[in-house]
Structure 1
Amino acid sequence: MKPKVKELKQSFYLLQKNRLTQISFYVMIVLFLIAVFAPLIIPYPSHISNEANIADKFLAPSRTHFFGTDELGRDIFSRVIYGTRVSLTTAVLSVGLALIIGVPLGAIAGTVGGMLDEVIMRITDIFLSFPPLLLAIAMVSVLGPSLNNAMMAIAISWWPWYTRLVRGQAISMKERKFVQAAETIGTSKFKTIFKHIIPNTISPVIVQASMDMGGVIMTIASLSFLGLGAQAPTPEWGLMISTGRNYFPDIWWYSIFPGLSIFITVLTFNLLGDGIREILDPKTRNK
């Protein structure tokens, strides 16, 4: 227990030492708090739907409407805030589903080896031969445009990266003495994989997942922008930019504020991922 406590304290020390990582960590917490409490903090809850108030359409940013209003008179600030919940929830579920698929497959391929390893990795290579966004577009086109289908398409596009990452870790890990000792006493392959291999390969997976969050949010926004993701009246950032471009540059606030939200969120996760990588890197810890 003591080494784990010491390692945790060292992680917090390195987090505080890296100012960019520290700031991105706090911004991430704020983003998730906004996502959780979005229905309670938005000033116009009814504007999340298709409710129209034509008399207030295209109002410029003001004290009443911080980010202005859209073509239906809906408060853009309320929709951007609620869009935080939509984007983060979809991104977390997409990455989580990709982890559920990719991590066990990578651990099995690296630990068992042989023909099973060949089959898993050849399937993985097929998926990796396509750009993730292109593959997601193709899958959503087949499944039909919706946020749930976009989430599934992104997860299926992303799992091979985790499979390849964990496979490499598992190949190295299965040569460790504690894994060989577990096999010597008769521990089954299945139990060895899920009790010893996967828990000890979690550090690089966490780094990769934290960095992928930004890319997944961008992909979700891209699919919605193309009309393949979220559908109206869902307040999704990419969809808002897609609608707002029809009125740009006169109604500039319609696209600018959702775009800034995407920029801040993606930058936050990218900086946080870089910081976590440095914190979990043994070379950095020993300096």
Structure 2
Amino acid sequence: MTQNSNLLRAIQPAVRELKVTFYLLNRNLLQRISMVIILLLILIAIFAPVIAPYPGHAISDTNPKDKLLPPSRQYLFGTDELGRDLFSRILYGTRISLRTALLAVGLALLIGAPLGAIAGGLGGIADEIIMRLTDIFLSFPPLLLAIAISSFLGPSLENAILAIAISWWPWYTRIIRGQAVSIRERQFVRAARAIGTPLPKIIFSHILPNTLAPVIVQASMDIGGVILTIASLSFLGLGAQPPIPEWGLLISSSRTYFLNAWWYSTFPGIAIFITVMVFNLIGDGIREVLDPRTRKF
């Protein structure tokens, strides 16, 4: 019970900062609309099997006699080359894109957060080794590194998630390390050292919880970029593989029919555009809220 109480007290500043951030975001109409759209996307991802008019078309079912039909009452977004309902496939694609983005960001956090806390909390040689390794990864463009890793591991959605996580973890390491360097000099950390608290416990119970607020904010900003990266890898044939209805893969499959079936590439492209835009708007809003020079109370 004592350890749980100490952990709760340690994360209270981060929780308060997040509450203030979302309160200020809610005061902006554009940010409020973005949050509503994100909530709608989450609901679509959860209830896609219920909402989709043709759930079987998302993966296995085909209907060749209705191939490449334009949008109509029966098929709101038209059909693909196998007669599958694009509206149903795009709804299922929402689930895939959000889930893979959350997994990729979560895995990147799982790698980067402990390394950043150790680097900032320990300092010295450990800090130098971790940060030089971070600099090596940061010297490559994230998309190019993700393409190289996906090519090496083989084309699949799981390998694409791993490739993105490996490409993105250094950003979280740098953020947490900068926070940890500042936090380790505060009075409560010095007091913990003075009473003989083991260094690993200081790092993971006192320093790491107090670095979570900016990291969670950065993660929310990165989700849109990760969705776009996943779509790019799938478009290049390095991410999702047929018949998975991932948005980037749908656009890739539509290239052959672009001139005769405009709807095939248009609607998945609109889905990517809206999703990435609303997450970027939320990210920009969070950045403005956290910047003292632009924060408006």
TM bracket, shorter-chain basis = over 0.9
Counterpart for residue 84 of structure 1: 94
- 1:52 aligned residue: 62
The residue number in structure 2 matching 1:267 is 277
Cα distance in 2, alignment partners of residues 5 and 94 from structure 1: 23
SS in 1 for 2:251: helix
What secondary structure does 1:17 align onto?
coil
**TM norm structure 1:** 0.95
Match status 1:155 vs 2:165:
yes
In structure 2, what residue type is equivalent to 1:109?
A
> What TM-score, normalized by structure 2, do the two folds share?
0.91
Identity %: 68
* CA-CA distance at 1:284 after TM superposition: 5.5
* Alignment of structure 1 residues 1-287 onto 2, 5 Å: 10-281=20-291, 287=297
Alpha-carbon distance in 2 for matches of 1:67, 1:263: 16
Bigger shift: residues 9-18 or 73-82? 9-18
* TM-aligned CA deviation for residue 13 of structure 1: 3.9
8 Å contact 2:108–2:168 — kept in the other structure? yes
Q: CA deviation at 1:278?
A: 3.1
Q: Note the residue ranges of structure 1 that are not aligned, 5 or more in a row.
A: none
Mapped to 2, the partners of 1:181 and 1:73 lie a distance apart of: 68
Provide the alpha-carbon RMSD of the alignment.
2.0
Q: Is the 8 A contact 2:142 2:167 kept in 1?
A: yes
Q: CA deviation at 1:6?
A: 7.5
Q: Quick one: which amino acid aligns to residue 214 of structure 1?
A: G
| Matched position secondary structure for 2:238 | coil
Q: Deviations over 1:191-223 (max 9, x none)?
A: 111111111111210121011101100110000
Determine helix, strand or coil for the equivalent of 1:63.
coil
Could you tell me how far 1:249 is from its partner in structure 2? 2.5
Paired residues, number: 287
Contact 1:124-1:160 at 8 Å conserved across structures: yes
Q: Distance in 2 between matches of 1:242 and 1:6?
A: 44
Deviation at 1:50, TM superposition (A): 3.8
Per-residue CA deviations over 1:121-168 (Å, capped at 9, x if unaligned) read 111111111111111111111111000000000001000010011111
Superposed displacement of residue 51, structure 1:
2.4
| Counterparts of 1:234 and 1:198, CA distance in 2 | 38
Distance 1:54 1:25 in 2: 39
Residue 234 of structure 1 aligns to a residue whose secondary structure is coil
Unaligned runs of 5+ in 2: 1-8
Q: Is the 8 A contact 1:203 1:280 kept in 2?
A: no
Q: Is the 8 A contact 1:147 1:231 kept in 2?
A: yes
Residue-by-residue CA offset, 1:11-67 (whole Å, 9 max, x unaligned): 454123211111111111111111111112111011012422111011110111100
- Paired letter, 1:71: E
Whole-angstrom distance in 2 between the partners of 1:74 and 1:263:
22
Q: Secondary structure at the match of 1:60?
A: coil
Q: Deviations over 1:92-133 (max 9, x none)?
A: 000000000001100100110111111111111111111111
Relative to structure 1, is the Cα distance of residues 112 and 26 closer, same or farther in structure 2, using a 3 angstrom cutoff? Answer: same
Shift in Å, 1:277: 2.7
Structure 1, 221-230 or 274-283: larger mean CA deviation:
274-283
Q: Distance in 2 between matches of 1:67 and 1:205?
A: 38
Q: Give yes or no for contact 1:132–1:157 (8 Å, CA) kept in 2.
A: yes
Distance 1:103 1:274 in 2: 22
